[in-house]
A and B are shown apart, each in its own frame.
Chain A
Amino acid sequence: MSKTVTRAQLCEAIFQEIGLSRTESAQLVELVLEEIAEALTRGETVKLSSFGSFLVREKGRRIGRNPKTGEEVPIEPRRVLVFRPSHVLREQINSALTGRAAEGGD
């Protein structure tokens, strides 16, 4: 079974590796996410080398459809966030997981 990692594990890692208190580790995790969110809200791209980049895309207005009723509904222009994983991250994940199912892993 795959597990879910949350802020708690990220805080624990900072506590272990850097030796900040748990409270301060939690604050730092929050601050990092907040700085990234703010940059994105300003419309900036956030590039984290060897991890990937987060970019904001502007979507134009288009006509969508309610799949249930078939009714046409306008979809207003909006900004969406796209994550582009780096090659390093792709490679790390792909090489770790390919063939694992065949070995009866997981």
Chain B
Amino acid sequence: MIKSELVARLAEANPHLFQRDVEQIVSTIFDEIAAALARGDRVELRGFGAFSVKNRPARTGRNPRTGDQVQVEEKFVPFFKTGKELRERLNGSPGSAREPGRRAG
């Protein structure tokens, strides 16, 4: 499923909204998540999962082909940890989207 298909599905389920509004809603959600990560913040969506940023310190690496030493700079990489409920759903457990009191990031 790509973004346009996601938008189409949501628009179908919400006939009172314009397709361009739905597009903007989807974009806003993911732009907000990206902006939060770029500030170094964590994004926690209980039941779905959590996005965070991991720091990879600078290190001396090696070119595996030539064996030359290379300086690898420090970097920050986005990371996603699947939420408990979604993990269970992927494996066919009953954990439905709205099971009360069983939500976990």
Where the two chains meet, the residues of A that have a C-beta atom closer than 8 Å to any C-beta of B are 2-7, 9-10, 13-14, 17-18, 20, 28-29, 31-37, 39-41, 44-49, 51-52, 54, 56, 78-81, 83, 85, 89-90, 92-94, 96-98, 100, 106
Contacts and interface: CB of A to CB of B under 8 A. Distances in A.
> Interface on chain B toward A: helix, strand, loop, or mixed SS?
mixed
A48 B25 contact: no
B26 interface: yes
Given A18-B28, A41-B89, A81-B49, A97 B82 contact: no
Interface of B: 1-3, 6, 9-10, 13-14, 21, 24-26, 28-30, 32-34, 36-49, 51, 53, 73-80, 82, 86-87, 89-91, 97
Contacts of B82: 80-81
A18 B24 contact: yes
A42 to B, nearest CB: 9
Given A32-B26, A93-B53, A93-B78, A37 B48 contact: yes
Contacts of A49: 2-3
Given A51-B30, A106-B40, A35 B10 contact: yes
Contacts of A48: 2-3, 6, 26, 30
Given A47-B3, A96-B39, A32 B29 contact: yes
25 contacts: A2-B42, A7-B46, A10-B29, A10-B33, A18-B21, A18-B25, A28-B10, A29-B29, A31-B10, A31-B14, A32-B6, A32-B25, A34-B97, A35-B6, A41-B89, A46-B2, A47-B2, A79-B91, A80-B82, A81-B87, A83-B78, A85-B80, A89-B78, A98-B73, A98-B76
Given A2-B41, A2-B42, A4-B44, A97 B13 contact: no
